[in-house]
Amino acid sequence: MSRRDGFLTHIPEADRIPFGQKLAFGAGASMSWLAADMTTGILWMPFFNIGLGISPVVLGAILMVLRLWDAFMDPVIGTLSDNTRTRWGRRRPYMFVGSILSAITYLLLWRSPAGVGESGLLAYLVVAGLLFFTFTTCSSMPFGAMQMELTPNYDERTHLMAWTTFFAKCFNLLGGWSLAIITCSLFLDPATGKPDIVRGMQAFSWVVAGLILILGLLPAIVGRERYYQKAVVRQAKEPFWKSLRESLSNGPLWGLIGVAFFLMLSGVSVGALGQYVNIYYVNGGDIAAASVIVGWKSTVLVATGIACIPMWTWLGEKFDKKAIMASMVVATMAGHLLYIFCLRPDMPYLQILPAVFEVGTISAIWIFLPSMKADVADHDELHTARRREGSLNAVYSWFFKIASTLALGIGGLVLQSTGFDAKLPAQPPEVLHRMVVIFIALPIVLWSFMLLCLWRYPLNRPRMAEIRRTLEERRGEL
């Protein structure tokens, strides 16, 4: 037994990911979040709607086109990287070039040419957006595939994802304060004295583009493709449709897709409703007071998520990932039910308590779920005799993005179903009651489907040890 990364571990030295690679891939996983998720989820509407005056309906339609294109490109780039053979490996060239072009097009996205008119502006936004999402996919899909092949060890895969979760929490904090940064006093309009969102975002975009470049290049430069020379170079290339069919027929992959699908659906579909519950039920319509609570809540949740990482990693060495995931889903349900007692107008900050309980357990899910994707790749090799991490990761990502898109639409329908009317100065009691009931009940239902998917997931620690022995007997150790 030796001490490594702060944990007692039995992982053989040959299976360990070098610490530099672990940091590079842990931080690099946040590149796609900064590039795509923060852009579309936090910055998109304020900049283009409030700043440039584009209709939110038009922006929503453009965003849908861009996200559908993004989802379409995932299996294309994933399979392409599986079939690539170069002196630098099959993943790293895409990651290197993709991160550079992503950083450049990110800057262009927020800098439309002057005097082109509304039609020209929309055309520019579509073209720049398509290029940007194409290049981010060129970087993120091979990155996700390479992350799955850094080690053959069941527990070391979890250690890697612990670092990924740590960096993700740090960058999520940046995202939480991003609007405050671009609307701060540094970017006031001299004529009106109000924040100039356009100027603020264009300045902030240099910071984000720099992070995209650094986080994208580091894994490409530092990373080493463990399976490439011994297993992949002599592996026959596989047609796109055949690879896609094999990925879609992978039973364990569908289990993880189901877990991720319902997890995303549960979070995003009631995300907006949770904000309205905070504003109208807990704070009586006082948006300023509710915003202060949100700020403190996000800071506390990031700190909680980071603090829980060592415990989840330690538990991951003692038990099966599947068992821990199921336990965490049950614990998340229990924490969420605390809202029944903690949504109190007389004690508005009490709502942070169930949120802390939830985020602590959901952090564990995001540690183990990507780790289990690497286990699925071993299961896939057992049946196909190929290393196809790119295709598997792309199919998983495709359904994850579909869940995200569906959740945004469902979120609007959920809010509408409560009878909420923004024109009213105060919402009727029956509307507030429906908002609270749906906010509490809907995630419980969706998390129940997650438990069903986990129950049907077949890969545990003994099974993975058996698969590894069989693979090494067939093609040797990697």
Q: End-to-end alpha-carbon separation of the chain, Å? A: 22
Q: Alpha-carbon distance 463 to 255, whole Å?
A: 16
Q: Alpha-carbon distance 142 to 226, whole Å?
A: 14
User: By the 8 A CB rule, do 133 and 66 touch?
Assistant: yes
Q: Alpha-carbon distance 304 to 165, whole Å?
A: 12
Q: Alpha-carbon distance 351 to 335, whole Å?
A: 11
Give the chain's largest Cα–Cα span: 74
- Which parts of 319-351 fold into alpha helices (H)? 321-337, 339-342
Other C-beta atoms lying within 10 Å of the C-beta of residue 313: 23
Q: Which tokens go with 170?
A: 């740090």
Q: Alpha-carbon distance 439 to 270, whole Å?
A: 6
Q: Which amino acid, one-letter code, is at 461?
A: R
β-strand partners of 195: 188
**Three-class secondary structure of residue 137 per DSSP:** helix
Q: Alpha-carbon distance 170 to 184, whole Å?
A: 21
User: By the 8 A CB rule, do 159 and 313 touch?
Assistant: yes
Q: Alpha-carbon distance 67 to 466, whole Å?
A: 39
- Tens-level pLDDT at each residue, the chain (478 residues): 334 444 445 788 888 999 999 999 999 999 998 998 888 877 887 788 878 888 877 887 888 888 888 888 999 999 999 999 988 889 999 999 999 999 999 999 999 888 788 889 999 999 999 999 999 999 999 999 999 989 999 999 999 999 998 998 888 878 877 877 888 878 877 777 777 888 889 999 999 999 999 999 999 999 888 877 677 777 788 888 898 899 999 999 999 999 988 888 887 777 768 878 888 888 887 766 776 787 787 788 788 888 888 888 888 888 889 898 898 889 889 988 999 999 999 998 998 888 887 776 777 788 898 899 999 999 999 999 889 999 999 999 888 878 877 776 677 678 778 888 867 777 899 989 998 999 999 999 999 999 999 999 999 999 999 999 999 998 888 7
Q: Which tokens go with 374?
A: 């690497």
198-221 b/e with 16+ CB inside 10 Å = b?
A: bebbbebbeebbebbbebbbbbbe
